[in-house]
Amino acid sequence: MTGPAVTRVLVADDRTVVREGIVMLLGLLPGIEVVGAAADGEEAVALVARHRPDVVLMDLRMPRCDGVEATRRIRAGYPGTEVVVLTTYADDESLFPALRAGARGYLTKDAGGEEIARAIADVRSGAAGLSPQVQLRLLERLSGAADPVPSGVPAAEPSVVPSGEPPDGLTVREAEVLGLIAEGLSNTEIARRLYVGPATVKTHINNLFAKTGVRDRAQAVAYAFRHGITGSPQ
């Protein structure tokens, strides 16, 4: 008889005291095994290649290779590893580039052990592991209530998932794919946007077609607009 599944986690933070503290905290959480700790993004990518963890807890501002670039490289090269950002910063200039790079969770460092454990479990199940303040920021951006992006800061990609649980049992990732279909993106373009392979996109499309009962992309677009799963107006 097998025991409960263990989630293998890698920690990346350039400050030794913070990194060791996170490792110690994770060691107290049931169902989590820390498989490595990195002092910068370059080391994080190398350790992911070596250990293939389920989740990386990623700081953003690190030397050599920052957390955004490390996230992008990890998601492109090792799609089985999810990334949860754990940072001091929750501003737009930090949040949206990290999410565009492929991070599935975003927490600030005042998060407690329970919140970190919940975010890790969420991204492992295909959901997003976001702190309440980050969820609020995303909803503000989706509704158009957010302040304009400062000059010189790249605009965030439009969010494609409405607030609340996606309909008809869709996962968050399937809803993202559906929203990108509604934007007119091809499978190849969706794969590039989400940093996954075309075969993975095709699997998500097959799954969401089966769950929603649509037969083709035109029906999928109509379904997406009917349920509010679309990008923000350009």
Q: 69 or 94: which carries more pLDDT confidence?
A: 69
Q: Per residue in 110-121, pLDDT tens?
A: 888 888 998 999
CB 129 within 8 A of CB 105: yes
Q: Per residue in 7-59, pLDDT tens?
A: 999 999 999 999 999 999 999 998 999 999 999 999 999 999 999 999 999 99
How confident is the model at residue 1, as a pLDDT? 46
Beta bridge partners of 58: 12, 85
CB 171 within 8 A of CB 126: yes
Q: Per residue in 164-192, pLDDT tens?
A: 678 888 888 888 899 888 877 888 888 88
Single-letter code of the amino acid located at 189: E
For the cut 90, the answer to whether the pLDDT of residue 69 exceeds it is yes
How confident is the model at residue 183, as a pLDDT? 79
Contacts of residue 121, Cβ cutoff 8 Å, sequence gap at least 6: 7, 129
pTM of the model: 0.60
Backbone dihedral angles phi then psi of residue 223, each to the nearest 5 degrees: -60, -45
Burial class (CB in 10 A: 0-12, 13-18, 19+), 54: buried
The SS3 call for residue 106 is: strand
How confident is the model at residue 229, as a pLDDT? 83
How confident is the model at residue 70, as a pLDDT? 95
Single-letter code of the amino acid located at 61: R
Q: Which of 134, 135, 106, 102 is nearest to 120 (CA)?
A: 106
